Amino acid sequence: MTDLTTRWLDLELRSPLVVGASPLTDDLDALKACVAAGAGAVVMHSLFEEQLVEEQMAAHRFIDSRINMDAEARSFFPESEVFEMGSGSYCRRLELLRNALDVPVIASLNGISPGGWTQYARELEEAGAAAIELNLYDLAPDPSDTADTLEQRQLAVVRSVVQQVSIPVSVKLSPFYSALPAFVAGIEAGGARGLVLFNRFYQPGMDLDELELSREVVLSSSAELPLRLHAVAMLYGQTGLEMAVSGGVHAGDDAVKAVLSGASVVQVVSAVLADGAGALARINREMTQRLSGMGYQSLAEARGALSMENAPNARAWERLNYARLLHGWK
């Protein structure tokens, strides 16, 4: 049977299936079931820059309220309505998960501007995070922000988080960079160890009867996987960063394709939210059967076999093939 152990961010994982950042953080029983079903690690949901900045503001407000500040001035500060879980309860949750689960627990920070909030990375390390996943979820709404200023700002965030901790840091990206390999080189130079490809954007739905936006989260399908496979296959061999595929892993073959493209691990969220830990057990079983059937002794042997660097017909990944495909369509 294929040896499924893998290295991810300096961690020895018994399986490449990782429970990705999600509300499952709050359900210990579900996470225990995921680990029993074969998960090799767990990522907690994110602690957001906005939460941490608000926490710092609250601390300042408290201090200010003890000094000479009148009520009117204090009312300029907004009260927090956005998030309930600050860094204290996040760290307590992290400690609980770390003690209850016998796989590494990875904490997630989510932010896009360099600033004091990145110092919370150290608290996460002290609370026992095995690594930190930094999610650069940026919608780039400001027309005065060029690709370069935005990327430089994001790289400053990466450097700042990396500098706070001695544990490894991975960076979770959106697919929308005009020159992904160059940006990835900047992330590597900034000291990160891994890449998580990709974020999914959560767009509001439109309620046409009420003429308003509706908040909804649509779970993924395997149709979202090829975008990730292409990026991983392109970057494999070009970057020293380890890679995780996040988005569209629903079946064993999805996970196998990610590994053949060059991924060290795959993160699974939607499949687990839809079908529980049984989904992980199924993906694990299907993946093992497929890799054994292909004659691979280990995951390491399979990794990158169909990347741009190694695939026998690697041109299929390239632009020329796109042109051929479009012309050849019947």
Member of 15, 118, 135, 239 binding ligand FMN (CB under 6 A): 135
Which residues are bridge partners to 48 per DSSP? Answer: 110
Pairing of strands 41-48, 6-8: unpaired
Which residues are bridge partners to 267 per DSSP? Answer: 18, 246
- Of 10-18, 21-29, 31-39, 289-297, which part binds ligand FMN (CB under 6 A)? 21-29
- Of 16-24, 80-88, 119-127, 147-155, which part binds ligand FMN (CB under 6 A)? 16-24
Contacts of 31 (CB under 8 A, 6+ apart): 19, 24, 25, 39, 42, 97, 100, 101
Grouping H, G, I as helix, E, B as strand and the rest as coil, residue 311 is coil
Question: Does 307 help bind ligand FMN (rule: CB under 6 A)?
Answer: no
What the block records as the tokens of 2 is: 């294929």
**Amino acid letter for position 150:** L
For 41-71, give one letter per residue: b (16+ CB within 10 A) or e: bbbbbbbbbebbebbbeeeeeeeeeeeeeee
Grouping H, G, I as helix, E, B as strand and the rest as coil, residue 172 is strand
Give the whole-angstrom CA distance, residue 299 versus residue 297: 7
Question: Does 157 help bind ligand FMN (rule: CB under 6 A)?
Answer: no
What backbone torsions phi and psi does residue 44 show, to the nearest 5 degrees? -75, 160
Minimum CB separation from ligand FMN for residue 85, in Å? 11
Residue closer to ligand FMN, measured from CB, 154 or 199? 199
Minimum CB separation from ligand FMN for residue 100, in Å? 20
Residue closer to ligand FMN, measured from CB, 170 or 308? 170
Say how many residues touch ligand FMN, by CB under 6 A. Answer: 22
Question: Does 234 help bind ligand FMN (rule: CB under 6 A)?
Answer: no
Residue closer to ligand FMN, measured from CB, 92 or 315? 92
Residue closer to ligand FMN, measured from CB, 38 or 296? 38
What the block records as the tokens of 109 is: 């920070």
CA quadruple 242, 247, 252, 256: dihedral sign = negative
Question: Does 172 help bind ligand FMN (rule: CB under 6 A)?
Answer: yes
Rg of the chain over all Cα atoms, to the nearest angstrom: 21
- For the chain, the straight-line distance linking the first and the last C-alpha, in angstroms and rounded, comes to 42
Draw the binding track, 65-94, toward ligand FMN (x: CB under 6 A; -: no contact).
------------------------------
Question: Does 51 help bind ligand FMN (rule: CB under 6 A)?
Answer: no
Draw the binding track, 244-263, toward ligand FMN (x: CB under 6 A; -: no contact).
--xxxx--------------
What the block records as the tokens of 200 is: 């999914």
Question: Does 170 help bind ligand FMN (rule: CB under 6 A)?
Answer: no
Member of 268, 279, 291, 308 binding ligand FMN (CB under 6 A): 268
Which residues are bridge partners to 86 per DSSP? Answer: none
Contact predicate 6/299, CB 8 Å? yes
Minimum CB separation from ligand FMN for residue 20, in Å? 4
Member of 100, 147, 189, 217 binding ligand FMN (CB under 6 A): 217
Minimum CB separation from ligand FMN for residue 70, in Å? 38
Instruction: By CB under 6 A, name the binding residues for ligand FMN.
Output: 20-23, 45-46, 108, 110, 135, 172, 199-200, 217, 220, 246-249, 268-270, 273
